[in-house]
Amino acid sequence: MKPLLTKTTKPFIIYVLIILVISIPVYYFVVDTIWKSELDEHNLTIAEKTAYEFNNLKLSDKELEKSINLWNQIQPGADIEKMPFKCVKKDHFFTIEKQKSFTSKPEIERYRCLKTIVYINKKAFLFTIETNIEESQETVAAIALITVFFFVLIVIGLLFLNKKLSASIWKPFRNTLDRLKTFNLNNQTKIEFEKTDITEFEELNQSLNKLIEHTVSVFKTQKEFTENASHELQTPLAILKNKLDILLQNEDLTQKQYQIAEEMNKALTRSSRINKNLLLLAKIDNNQFDNSEIIQFDGLLDQSMDMLQEHFEQKNISVHKNISSDVQVNGNGSLAEIMINNLILNAIRHTSNEGTISVKLTDSVFEIANSGTEKLNTDLLFKRFSKLSTDKNGSGLGLAIISEICKFHQWTINYKFENNSHVFSVMMNN
């Protein structure tokens, strides 16, 4: 994952780079055009000045001819010749490339040229002048270097400004995010967002306030309904269970009637267990348990193992124990006992006959492993009423209760499947 600042800065930098790269040939074309225009003006000035100086000398025709010949010999790139029969009638500007004639090393250069008519001693002459133009490669290289320099300067400045501005601009958003991270729906603590002068963040805070208020209201209603329903169902379920027990003891029942009553009793027993579990979850959600006891965890574990010994023997399960002594943790003893029993019963229920169960306890970790064939679906593992096996006797709340008890104690429960074993580990951080 990348921060929002990176996602906005990167496209901008790429855009600036593309524009600057495109600008290099544009800069070259503009500079070259301006340079040629200046050279044309320079050449025209030279031609006019040369004609003016010759006219000021007031030479005879013979002396003028000698002077022009001398000029053509000693003045490179500037020739004065008699008007040919076919000649340009107006100034002609053009560019040529040719090799330098006065250097030993071959070198091709560009020249900006002018052919124009000048009048000396009232006679027309063709004046041709060539002026060297700056090398195009050197010009492009210089422009490219300058462009790269400014690109680096823009990037450094942009990153610096973004870092400085984001600290202040995004501060309200960070504050909102920090408040949301501390929000706990179970505690139903009201969140007070800081006021901000940024319209978007203020709208976000207002929307979040409405959403949280609605969520808390719905959560309270659901919890009250679950708790009330569980409480109200306890009495009729107990009455029905008692009546069914009396009915099952009636000797006048036929075999078919007895089977029907037995099936009803099983369904009622399961309903009663689900009701108790839902009531327990509601109480945990409402923080109705004390969390300040010192629990003798190894004692609770040994007690549960002894109590469930009959279940191990029924399935002929081999039990391996590695329990440290005098392991004490802070929390609620009743909830810790329920968690231990649920984990052990879950292991027994999902272990085949003659399987193995390993129980390990250290000062900070309680681990239980049972033999299995394939990994459980971790997405559904601790969800309420999720079915991970074909066992119809389970309520689908055992692992959900374990998860809620761990959250209540601020413990961490993990699951893994290794060496053909399902391993549940409870990290007791306190």
Please give the pLDDT value at position 364: 87
If pLDDT is split at 50, 70 and 90, which confidence band does 223 have? Answer: confident
CATH topology (fold) of 293-427: Heat Shock Protein 90 (3.30.565)
CA distance 292 to 288: 12
Please give the pLDDT value at position 292: 81
User: What token pair was written down for 73?
Assistant: 């010999």
The pLDDT > 90 percentage for the chain reads 13
Residue 227 has pLDDT above 60, yes or no: yes
CA distance 198 to 5: 17
Q: What is the DSSP letter of 118?
A: E
Please give the pLDDT value at position 101: 63
- Distant-in-sequence, close-in-space partners of 357: CB < 8 Å, separation ≥ 6: 312, 317, 318, 319, 320, 344, 347, 348, 351, 368, 369, 370, 371
CA distance 99 to 295: 99
The domain 4-155 is classified under which CATH number: 3.30.450, 4.10.240, 3.30.1490, 3.40.1800? 3.30.450
- Tokens 């309680």 sit on residue: 366
Mean pLDDT of the chain, nearest integer: 82
The domain 199-285 is classified under which CATH number: 3.60.10.10, 1.10.3720.10, 1.10.287.130, 1.10.10.10? 1.10.287.130
Please give the pLDDT value at position 254: 83
The pTM assigned to this predicted structure is 0.49
Helix-strand-coil split of the chain, %, nearest 5: 55, 20, 25
Q: Which of 273, 252, 274, 271 is nearest to 263 (CA)?
A: 271
Please give the pLDDT value at position 187: 66
Plot region of 94 (φ>0 → left; ψ -120 to 50 → alpha; else → beta): beta
Please give the pLDDT value at position 349: 86
Task: Determine how many CB atoms are found less than 10 A away from the CB of residue 190.
Answer: 10
Burial 157-178 (b: 16+ CB within 10 A, else e): eeeeebeeebeeebebbeebee
User: What token pair was written down for 408?
Assistant: 């209540």
Q: What dihedral angle (degrees, nearest 10) is formed by the CA atoms of 227, 232, 238, 243?
A: -150
If pLDDT is split at 50, 70 and 90, which confidence band does 20 have? Answer: confident
* Range among 5-9, 90-94, 337-341 rated most confident: 337-341
Give the model confidence (pLDDT) of 173-213 as tens digits. Answer: 888 888 888 777 766 667 778 888 888 888 888 888 888 88
CA 159 vs. chain centroid, Å, equals: 19
Please give the pLDDT value at position 284: 78
Domain ranges (residues) in the chain: 4-155, 199-285, 293-427
What does the pLDDT average to over 373-379? 82
CA distances from 178 to 175, 205, 229, 359 (A): 5, 12, 36, 40
* Range among 65-69, 259-263, 387-391 rated most confident: 65-69
Q: For strands 318-323 and 356-361, give the pairing.
A: parallel
CA distance 107 to 103: 8
Residue 289 has pLDDT above 90, yes or no: no
CA distance 87 to 174: 80
Please give the pLDDT value at position 386: 67
CA distances from 253 to 247, 266, 267 (A): 8, 18, 19
- Tokens 């039990």 sit on residue: 319
CA 350 vs. chain centroid, Å, equals: 39
Please give the pLDDT value at position 102: 59
If pLDDT is split at 50, 70 and 90, which confidence band does 1 have? Answer: low
Q: What's the half-sphere exposure (Cβ side, CA atoms, 13 Å) at 210?
A: 5
If pLDDT is split at 50, 70 and 90, which confidence band does 35 have? Answer: confident
